[in-house]
Structure 1
Amino acid sequence: MALRAKQFDVARQLASEALKSNRTDRNAVMMLAHALIGQGRKDEAITPLERAVRRNDDPEIETLLGHALCGAQRTSDGIAQLRRTAARRPPYLPAFQELAGQIANTGAVGEAVEIMEKALALAPASIDLHLDLGRMHVRNNNRGEARRVLAAARATAPGRTDILTELAWAELLDGAYTEAADTYRHALGLRPDDTLSRANLAICLMEMGERKGGEAALRSVLRGRPHMLGRTALAMATSSHGRFFFRPSAAAKFLERESERAATP
């Protein structure tokens, strides 16, 4: 519960107390490592995880160790660990996902795509693997293939907003603004408070020439959320049918003034 609530210090203390009673408690080691990683202390999570790996044949612990090693700037060690875990049979799919993500972070996005494709060959029914493969295609600037993979995932799991937003982003990047707007609307119907999707919908609308609709969407994003000013101003500025303001205060004044006017009967 402490980990889910992101109370990492509490979780660390509880896990440490449990380990005093039983140094080989697998769950306590995992909780301690997750808490340390959550606190940004990945280097401290490595030692207990390495001990646990020596004691247990456990791919989940190995994958977390690989993550911690990469996070502690020991990328080559972390990737080597993740490769060993991904070579296991039966396959442990999160190891492939972690490996692909870490390799993509080094700039080798093409190799990361290949890793996800190998994972899908082992588990073709996994929607999560399809989603991650689509994301990798986007990172590799292969928007057409990303749309194909993500559209197939959407057809299988139409109620997953994470798939919808990734598909919409690929469509937006590919210049398919009408399709992206429809996909974002579907996602927002399932999760109306997704401000990022609403801001991206605004970009689509403005690119489609629907400036008023786009600006209305941006006003709803900004309303009560001053921290979203940068995102809304960027959305206006980057659209070919948008507006550019030299000062953030001018953008805020425009959106707030128009918001108040729209709210006036």
Structure 2
Amino acid sequence: MDDTETLIRRATVAVNSGKPDEAQRLCEQGLARDPGDPVLHHLLAAVLFSRGVMAPARAHIDVSLAKRPNNAPARLLAARIARSEGQFDAALLHLDAAIAAGPQREMFIEKARTLDMAGLRDQARGAWQAILKVIPGHQEATARLGLLAWEDGDPATAAKLLAQATATNAPASVWFNLGLARQDLRDHRGAASAYCKAFELKPDHAEAALNLGISLQEVGGLDAAMDAYGKAYRLRPQLFGSIAMALTSASHGRLWLDEDQLRRALGG
């Protein structure tokens, strides 16, 4: 029978190999023999967290931390678990303890994310700016600062930052936010390009299709706009009112007197 150290090693290999079932079995086997082992509790918490099983994950990481309160990786995992449960104050306490125990870049990024999610805008902005000073061009920091600038009513700064964030592979959300900033600047062609990319990356992004239609309509591409509106409508029929309003209120629009006819046109 394997000893605890061997089980820990095998469980770690299983975690790193993407075999959560095997990792969980090995951790549970080890804890049945040695219920207080902090490493096994840490590994099992990580496996459970990856599966979205939050309460047991939290219980296991708490046991691990009770034995090793200054273990930075355990603090980091505890912070992620707490944040996923909306316990932002607890998450920040864990992160501060992790940073004090052994500061690493990842911890500062996690703290910035947590401040952002907690709605602590000024602190989050400062944290993201600090990350950019240490890691110039950091995509997530640039994108988050761009969104914060847009939310503050500064679309020019937002568009600049978000364009920088899309210089390397960026998720649909960043392209969508770039579209919003460009739209506010009345750069409708640039906005359409950004929304098109967002929709390409996330084909179920109904809002991207809707805003793509609005941007295309603004530059006179009504047929292309109708195609985008149709995609938005088929993804989310509740957007019909927004589409109808856009069609009748934009500078290049079309008046639809028959609602059923418009629904049929959008339904394709």
Q: TM-score, normalised by structure 1?
A: 0.69
Equivalence for 1:19:
27
The structural deviation recorded for 1:68 is 2.5
Instruction: Say what the alpha-carbon RMSD is for the aligned residues.
Output: 3.6
- Asked if 1:109 corresponds to 2:109, the answer is no
Cα 1:231–1:61 change in 2 (3 A) is farther
Which blocks of at least 5 consecutive residues in structure 2 are unaligned? 1-18, 32-38
Whole-Å separation in 1 of the counterparts to 2:192 and 2:97 = 42
Confirm or deny: 8 A CA contact 1:120 1:130 kept in the other structure: yes
Q: For residue 127 of structure 2, what is the amino acid of its counterpart? A: I
The one-character-per-residue Cα deviations of 1:104-149 (angstroms, maximum 9, x if unpaired) are 3443212211111111212224323323332333344443222121
Equivalence for 1:4:
none
Q: TM-score, normalised by structure 2?
A: 0.68
Confirm or deny: 8 A CA contact 2:226 2:266 kept in the other structure: no
The structural deviation recorded for 1:89 is 5.7
- Asked if 1:258 corresponds to 2:268, the answer is no
Query: Please, which of 119, 125, 128 is the counterpart of residue 140 of structure 2?
Result: 128
Whole-Å separation in 2 of the counterparts to 1:171 and 1:52 = 48
Confirm or deny: 8 A CA contact 2:70 2:101 kept in the other structure: no
Equivalence for 1:69:
82
The structure with the larger Rg is: 2
Cα 1:192–1:122 change in 2 (3 A) is closer
Whole-Å separation in 1 of the counterparts to 2:240 and 2:98 = 43
Whole-Å separation in 1 of the counterparts to 2:246 and 2:146 = 25
Which blocks of at least 5 consecutive residues in structure 1 are unaligned? 1-9
Where do 1:1-265 residues align within 5 Å? Answer: 16-23=24-31, 24-25=39-40, 26-35=42-51, 38-39=52-53, 42-53=54-65, 54-55=67-68, 59-86=72-99, 91-93=104-106, 95-155=107-167, 157=168, 159-162=169-172, 163-188=174-199, 191=201, 193-196=203-206, 197-208=208-219, 210-223=221-234, 225=235, 228-237=236-245, 240-241=249-250, 253-259=260-266
Q: For residue 120 of structure 1, what is the amino acid of its counterpart? A: L
Q: Could you tell me the percent identity over the aligned residues? A: 18
Confirm or deny: 8 A CA contact 1:164 1:187 kept in the other structure: yes
The one-character-per-residue Cα deviations of 1:146-179 (angstroms, maximum 9, x if unpaired) are 2121222333x1x434343332233234443232
Whole-Å separation in 2 of the counterparts to 1:82 and 1:236 = 48
Cα 1:116–1:88 change in 2 (3 A) is farther
Whole-Å separation in 1 of the counterparts to 2:81 and 2:111 = 12
Task: Between 177-186 and 160-169, report the one with greater CA deviation.
Answer: 160-169
Confirm or deny: 8 A CA contact 1:202 1:218 kept in the other structure: yes
